[in-house]
Amino acid sequence: MAQATPDRPTACLALADGTLFFGRGFGAVGETTAELCFNTSMTGYQEIMTDPSYAGQVVTFTFPHIGNVGVNPEDDETADPVAEGMVVKWDPTTPSNWRATETLAEWLAKRGRIAIGGVDTRRLTRAIRQQGAPHVALAHDPEGNFDANALVAKARGFAGLEGADLARRVTCAQSYRWDEMRWAWPEGYTRQTNARHKVVAIDYGAKRNILRCLASAGCEVTVLPATATAQDVLAHEPDGVFLSNGPGDPAATGEYAVPMIKGVLEKGLPIFGICLGHQMLALALGARTIKMNHGHHGANHPVKDMETGKVEITSMNHGFAVDSQTLPDGVKETHVSLFDGSNCGLRMTDRPVFSVQHHPEASPGPQDSFYLFERFAASMAG
């Protein structure tokens, strides 16, 4: 890892408003532009960096000790990191965890991802909260040669995530069958070893643990690329359709996803959506989505189930939200964020079609919401 003396930083984070943060670079050498968010999770940095929903974003970790247990091949949520880069308070120390096969810095460097350490992440997080997710340029140069004005100009030139269809970029190239189960089983649930329900999962940027959860709830899962049509989906004669999480603006992704979802709705099949899948189901039902100020990214977000009154602690990662004021008749708001009252779930009142904004598969995060996978499986049982 590149070391720098305090007066010679090796990385620079430039915000579009001209604010500069200097620090020590690690991971890949180079430059990137992105939207900047903050994530409050205390664990799971590898899962966060490989969550495809982070395409186009640099992640600031508010927890100061990131990287200290290294990286291993089992914790990837997809083949490679997808987030553009990371910002941390302390430089990662040498990992001593038995599962570690690489240091975070080596892993990022091999995969072309830039990181900056030594940043006042509390100040940066306040800036993100105040101005909304800023556009940024992040540069790492072991020689410490930065043209600050040019970096600010690059941050200003970043097109942003509004209107961005990134699912096409991160989806699978072709369909495949998923058969791996969860390793850790949430307390109180029965592991289903026989696949009883044929599910088509649309991959808008699916995390592996979602597919594991579906398999563990008794689903035989066939994964199809993001641009699959209703005809492609129905050709598999599924018992239910799953809509995955994914990056970018749901309105832009919805251009091809919404017609597919409408086609599946016409057939009356059960549908379950998570995060981007939730947002696109809402669009298909006639609701609207909005860009949030700084979104929700963390592993401790309280969500209230409006039907049972129960509060679940959830894992979240989203910068857009469904505008609950626009939900049409026949669609009920089922879950609400206790942080800001934003919509976190919906269901059709006359059939098993439902979705949530949070990530019930966690990874990282609490397992309170696993019941949703069982609910989906139960909806296909009849």
Ligand X SMILES: NC(=O)CC[C@H](N)C(=O)O
Q: Give the catalytic positions in this structure.
A: 275, 359, 361
Q: Give the integer Cα–Cα distance in Å for 23 and 88.
A: 9
- Rule CB under 6 A: is residue 125 a binding residue for ligand X? no
Nearer to ligand X, 85 or 117 (CB): 85
41 among the known binding-site residues? Answer: no
- Rule CB under 6 A: is residue 320 a binding residue for ligand X? yes
Kindly state the smallest distance separating residue 257's Cβ from ligand X, in Å.
12
Q: What part of residues 3-32 is at the interface with ligand X (CB under 6 A)?
A: none
Are 166 and 56 in contact by the 8 Å Cβ rule? The answer is yes
- Pick one of 50, 245, 343, 369: the residue that binds ligand X (CB under 6 A): 245
- Rule CB under 6 A: is residue 38 a binding residue for ligand X? no
97 among the known binding-site residues? Answer: no
Site string for ligand X, 256-295 (x = CB under 6 A): -------------------xx-------------------
Kindly state the smallest distance separating residue 320's Cβ from ligand X, in Å.
4
Nearer to ligand X, 21 or 54 (CB): 54
Nearer to ligand X, 30 or 366 (CB): 366
Q: Over the Cα atoms of the chain, what is R_g?
A: 21
- Pick one of 317, 334, 355, 367: the residue that binds ligand X (CB under 6 A): 317
Stretch that binds ligand X, among 17-25, 316-324, 347-355, 369-377 (CB under 6 A): 316-324
- Rule CB under 6 A: is residue 50 a binding residue for ligand X? no
Nearer to ligand X, 149 or 293 (CB): 293
319 among the known binding-site residues? Answer: yes
Q: Give the integer Cα–Cα distance in Å for 155 and 12.
A: 12
- Rule CB under 6 A: is residue 246 a binding residue for ligand X? yes
Stretch that binds ligand X, among 111-119, 133-141, 239-247, 264-272 (CB under 6 A): 239-247
118 among the known binding-site residues? Answer: no
320 among the known binding-site residues? Answer: yes
- Rule CB under 6 A: is residue 53 a binding residue for ligand X? yes
Kindly state the smallest distance separating residue 90's Cβ from ligand X, in Å.
27
Q: Which residues bind ligand X (CB under 6 A)?
A: 53, 245-248, 275-276, 317-320
Q: Which residues are annotated as a binding site for L-glutamine?
A: 53, 246, 248, 276, 279, 317, 319-320
Q: Which residues are annotated as a binding site?
A: 53, 246, 248, 276, 279, 317, 319-320
